Chains A and B, each alone.
Chain A
């Protein structure tokens, strides 16, 4: 019992941080102890130092890549949600689109990046397309399964009450896909980073960290490569943590006994007023 309790909250965060510190220290120690040259594996401190010393040149690259990740993520999630809803509501559309959907994921993204540049130019569009293509798949698969997971008896109950298709979608089907959507957001946030880097590995007029990694790599500036990889890792972790927060926010019933804030006040207020005006109401 006590062990499980310790795993929650601040102590758990401390443990995770401790694990990271230990890993970094091991890395540093091994590189130093075995005299590994820094162009093969740099120490984490030298990678961090590179980032720190060259922040003014790295910052615009970082912001460009971050922009691609964020916009591409939003595009992917929106496309996934919209497609999932249409596919679940229109059977014919589902039949037509599903094989294409699988095809987009069976295609190696890295192989279609160059043709996308030819089609869409050197701007941000091909990057957003690649990030979107990676992100939308978990979203569409999870939301589709959520939409179709509604208990047949719940649907019968709603039908017996009498409702419109739109209300059934908004009040019953979509909310039941919030839990799988949360999982898809977490997966998508980490995959989006890979998407942005692959997108930048082709010709571009707006360089980001992905481009620069290639440049530094050819100059054998390995500390720079590792430093930028660490930034990308940080973006991925931050995205995951942020989306975990979003997931908790959109599924409050999973961790609370009672509704709070906006979810209850609408009722609470009415109820308080109502019960006060019916003073003397007895069992």
Chain B
């Protein structure tokens, strides 16, 4: 197992608030890792640091042992908002990366078109984004990220704004795409089910200061379909994750309920 992405001793303060403290994460090549944590725990700040949009106060981000701290353009970054450009067609949005970096080559256009075709948007390549549903827009946003061909993709709550059914569809779709394309994914969510369903490993973050409190290996075999979320294996794992999440936050559960799901009577 070779480490592709390493976050080493990253600290970040905003004013006198410790947003991130002692963040150490290693992500292996081809691994799918999720970070779960409550809102305000600094997940997005961490993503911005890895993407080079924000600099840490101290610590380093290493990509294949190369120090990329504070430099952008090394990783693919997908946001919760699809951020599609309204005047570019679906194909134009998928190829946004190459056109922002120079000229779009014919092979990149072809690749984008094939990708759209393969993932069910072949009919829509000339459509403007306002004609697409939320789920379709997020698919386009992921294809835009894929076409950057970065070794690591950061997905920051990519399905957070979608309705529950669409979100489940896109989770399954993301796994299918990942099975096709491979690559290393760091995925942020506040949804424990989502984190366990998609990941090889779940990192649990605590808030203020944001730090990796614990981690959970997800050994559920792939390919995974959504029905595994009701399997015993999954439920046990979810229970563990919730325990980790709640103990790491010192959150108080309502009386009569324990994190392990058993009644306290």
Q: Are A257 and B91 in contact (CB under 8 A)?
A: no
Q: Are B113 and A275 in contact (CB under 8 A)?
A: yes
Which one of B79, B96, B127 lies within 8 Å of A258 (CB-CB)?
Answer: B127
Interface mask (A125-167 → B, CB under 8 Å = 1, otherwise 0): 0000000000000000000000000010110111111110001
Interface with B: A110-118, A193-201, A237-245, A261-269, which one? A261-269
Contact residues of A between 215 and 260, Cβ < 8 Å to B: 251-253, 256-260
Which one of B79, B100, B114 lies within 8 Å of A162 (CB-CB)?
Answer: B100
Which one of A253, A268, A274 lies within 8 Å of B114 (CB-CB)?
Answer: A274
A155 to B106, CA, bound (A): 26
Interface mask (B18-56 → A, CB under 8 Å = 1, otherwise 0): 000000000000000000000000000000100111000
Contact residues of B between 47 and 89, Cβ < 8 Å to A: 48, 51-53, 72-73, 75, 77, 79, 81, 83, 85-87, 89
Chain A residues within 8 Å of B113, by CB = 267, 270-271, 274-275
A178 to B85, CA, bound (A): 13
A35 to B125, CA, bound (A): 67
A207 at the B interface (CB under 8 A): no
Determine the main DSSP class of A at the interface with B: helix
A103 at the B interface (CB under 8 A): no
Measured CB to CB, the closest approach of chain B to A259, in angstroms, equals 5
A253 to B100, CA, bound (A): 20
Q: Are B126 and A264 in contact (CB under 8 A)?
A: yes
A109 at the B interface (CB under 8 A): no
A48 at the B interface (CB under 8 A): no
Contact residues of B between 78 and 123, Cβ < 8 Å to A: 79, 81, 83, 85-87, 89, 91-92, 96-97, 99-101, 106, 109-110, 113-114, 117-118
Known: A178-B87, A257-B131, A274-B113. A161 touches B73 (CB 8 A): yes
Interface with B: A49-57, A64-72, A168-176, A182-190, which one? A168-176
B208 at the A interface (CB under 8 A): no
Which one of A159, A163, A167, A274 lies within 8 Å of B53 (CB-CB)?
Answer: A159
A34 at the B interface (CB under 8 A): no
A151 to B148, CA, bound (A): 21
A102 at the B interface (CB under 8 A): no
Q: Are B109 and A253 in contact (CB under 8 A)?
A: no
A253 to B132, CA, bound (A): 13
A252 to B92, CA, bound (A): 14
B178 at the A interface (CB under 8 A): no
Which one of B79, B83, B110 lies within 8 Å of A271 (CB-CB)?
Answer: B110
Q: Are A251 and B101 in contact (CB under 8 A)?
A: no
Which one of A168, A253, A263, A274 lies within 8 Å of B110 (CB-CB)?
Answer: A274
Known: A162-B73, A267-B91. A156 touches B53 (CB 8 A): yes
Chain A residues within 8 Å of B96, by CB = 161
A14 at the B interface (CB under 8 A): no
Interface residues in A, total, Cβ within 8 A: 37
Q: Are A162 and B91 in contact (CB under 8 A)?
A: no
A257 to B240, CA, bound (A): 48
Which residue on chain B has the smallest CB distance to residue A157? Answer: B83
A263 to B87, CA, bound (A): 10
A283 at the B interface (CB under 8 A): yes
Q: Are A259 and B79 in contact (CB under 8 A)?
A: no
Chain A residues within 8 Å of B91, by CB = 267, 271
B246 at the A interface (CB under 8 A): no
Q: Are B109 and A154 in contact (CB under 8 A)?
A: no
Given contacts A156-B79, A259-B128, 18 further A-B contacts (CB under 8 A): A157-B77, A160-B72, A160-B73, A161-B73, A161-B100, A163-B101, A171-B99, A171-B100, A257-B127, A257-B131, A258-B127, A259-B127, A270-B106, A271-B113, A271-B125, A274-B113, A274-B114, A283-B118
List the 5 closest A-B pairs by CB distance, nearest first.
A162-B73, A274-B110, A163-B100, A160-B77, A271-B113
A: which residues have CB within 8 A of B?
Answer: 151, 153-154, 156-163, 167-168, 171-172, 175-176, 178, 251-253, 256-260, 263-264, 267-268, 270-271, 274-275, 278, 281, 283
30 A-B pairs with C-beta separation under 8 A: A151-B83, A156-B53, A156-B79, A157-B79, A159-B72, A160-B51, A161-B96, A161-B97, A162-B72, A162-B101, A168-B100, A172-B85, A175-B85, A253-B87, A253-B128, A253-B130, A256-B128, A257-B127, A257-B131, A259-B127, A260-B126, A263-B89, A267-B92, A270-B106, A270-B109, A271-B91, A271-B109, A271-B110, A271-B113, A281-B118
